[in-house]
């Protein structure tokens, strides 16, 4: 029967439908923890919907009590969201700032030309590419020839794009040390030295909480990020975290870190799914030391990917200030 159904589906739709069917089966058996992980990031949207529904119901006397209850629910859910969306005083970029770009490239399917143009235009010191392995790296690097970027693949090669992470580092980042790291299901990288000094930049892609097992692993990986951010020298963490700040585990993980988006007014700008644009959820992040100053934060479209890219420019504090 499945073969008959598959034959009726256009080839370009078969893989997306298989992926959605797999996700639906996993969620159906994932239990309360998985359901919470899937629903929580949509709290801003649910709050807005509740307030919109309350406004409509308030127009009729018979439904005003329901409207009041719905409005109270929307306000309770939306208050923390609104606080996160506040914009602080702007700080102009300076010569000592560090720029980090992270972009999930959808199993290596993102447009390498568009990504190369983005890197060339913005000139980040560090580029973190979840779902990019050696195959994607080898297609991308010739397009960046002459720009002075070095590259590392977390697995060392031989792993499919969708299960790897690639890191690019500009020459001006200095004499950095890059090493593969453990602790997460997917391979990831740690960078120290150069302009980072004592700090570590973690280039990561956490497990998506889509089943009982993967949700448990997601909690473990966010707890690992919490240990990094509780260290004496606060790190930078960049990549697809599969979590928003409406997920309590990510909020609890911050420790000595914060989101580079904090204070910019853009903490609610969506990065996934890309087709929703700004209305999606922000699961791609650059976490920085709490004492860092964000001088630029942008969420940018990337052709060929289901994620949007995040660009953060920050002024890092001296490492001794974290002790």
pTM of the model: 0.87
Residue whose token pair is 């007014």:
265
What stretch of H or E contains 240?
strand 236-240
Between 306 and 95, the more confident residue is 306
The share of the chain scoring above pLDDT 90, in percent, equals 68
pLDDT tens track for 111-124: 999 999 999 999 99
Residues 172, 127, 163, 240, CA torsion sign: positive
Whole-number Å distance between alpha carbons of 228 and 193 = 17
pLDDT tens track for 170-229: 999 999 999 999 999 999 999 999 999 999 999 999 999 999 999 999 999 999 999 999
Residue whose token pair is 């790291």:
181
Q: What is the pLDDT of residue 43?
A: 75
**Do residues 194 and 174 lie in contact, with contact meaning Cβ atoms separated by under 8 Å?**
yes
Helices vs. strands in the chain: H and E counts, helices first: 9, 12
Q: What is the pLDDT of residue 5?
A: 44
Going from the N-terminus, what domains does the chain have, and what CATH number goes with each? Answer: 12-84 (no CATH), 98-322 (3.60.10.10)
Between 46 and 135, the more confident residue is 135
Q: What is the pLDDT of residue 9?
A: 56
Nearest-10 crossing angle of helices 31-39, 11-28:
120
Which DSSP letter does residue 289 get? E
**Do residues 283 and 240 lie in contact, with contact meaning Cβ atoms separated by under 8 Å?**
yes
Whole-number Å distance between alpha carbons of 184 and 109 = 23
pLDDT tens track for 13-52: 555 555 555 455 555 566 778 887 888 877 777 677 777 8
Whole-number Å distance between alpha carbons of 261 and 272 = 16
63 pLDDT tier (thresholds 50, 70, 90): confident
pLDDT tens track for 75-109: 766 667 767 777 877 787 888 899 999 999 999 99
Whole-number Å distance between alpha carbons of 231 and 290 = 12
Q: What is the pLDDT of residue 4?
A: 43
The share of the chain scoring above pLDDT 70, in percent, equals 85
Phi then psi for 189, rounded to 5 degrees? -130, 150
What stretch of H or E contains 203?
strand 201-205
Tell me what the mean pLDDT of segment 282-287 comes to: 98
Give residues with Cβ within 8 angstroms of 221, minimum separation 6. 183, 184, 185, 204, 206, 207
Beta bridge partners of 313: 99, 296
Whole-number Å distance between alpha carbons of 52 and 11 = 40
**Residue 319, SS3 per DSSP:** helix
| Token code pair at residue 30 | 């994932």
Whole-number Å distance between alpha carbons of 97 and 139 = 29
Between 62 and 72, the more confident residue is 62
pLDDT tens track for 138-159: 999 999 999 999 999 999 998 9
Q: What is the pLDDT of residue 68?
A: 78
Tell me what the mean pLDDT of segment 266-274 comes to: 95
**Do residues 277 and 270 lie in contact, with contact meaning Cβ atoms separated by under 8 Å?**
yes
Max Cα-Cα span within the chain: 70
């Amino acid at each position: 029967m499945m073969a008959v159904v598959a034959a009726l589906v256009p080839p370009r739709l078969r893989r997306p439908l298989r992926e959605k069917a797999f996700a639906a089966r996993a969620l159906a058996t994932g239990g309360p923890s998985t359901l919470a992980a899937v629903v929580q990031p949509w709290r801003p949207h649910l709050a807005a919907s509740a307030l919109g529904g309350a406004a409509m119901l308030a127009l009729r006397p018979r439904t005003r009590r329901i409207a009041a209850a719905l409005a109270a629910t929307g306000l309770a859910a939306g208050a923390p969201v609104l606080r996160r969306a506040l914009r602080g005083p702007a700080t102009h970029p300076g010569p000592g700032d560090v720029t980090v770009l992270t972009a999930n490239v959808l199993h290596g399917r993102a447009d390498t030309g568009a990504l190369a143009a983005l890197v060339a235009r913005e000139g980040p010191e560090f580029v973190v590419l979840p779902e990019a392995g050696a195959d994607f790296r080898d297609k991308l690097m010739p397009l960046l020839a002459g720009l002075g970027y070095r590259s590392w693949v977390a697995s060392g090669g031989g792993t499919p794009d969708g299960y790897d992470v690639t890191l690019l580092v500009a020459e001006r980042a200095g004499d950095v040390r890059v090493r593969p790291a453990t602790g997460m299901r997917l391979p990831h990288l740690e960078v120290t030295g150069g302009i980072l000094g004592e700090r570590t930049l973690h280039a990561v892609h956490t497990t998506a909480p889509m089943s009982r097992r993967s949700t448990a692993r997601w909690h473990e990986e966010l707890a690992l990020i919490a240990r990094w951010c509780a260290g004496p020298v606060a790190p930078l963490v960049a990549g697809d975290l599969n979590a928003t700040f409406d997920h309590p585990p990510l909020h609890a993980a911050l420790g000595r870190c914060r989101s580079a988006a904090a204070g910019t007014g853009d903490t609610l700008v969506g990065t996934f799914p890309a087709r929703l644009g700004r209305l999606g959820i922000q699961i791609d992040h650059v976490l920085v030391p709490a004492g860092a100053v964000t001088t630029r934060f942008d969420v940018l479209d990337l052709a060929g990917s289901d994620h949007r890219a995040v660009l953060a420019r920050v002024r890092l504090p001296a490492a001794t200030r974290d002790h």
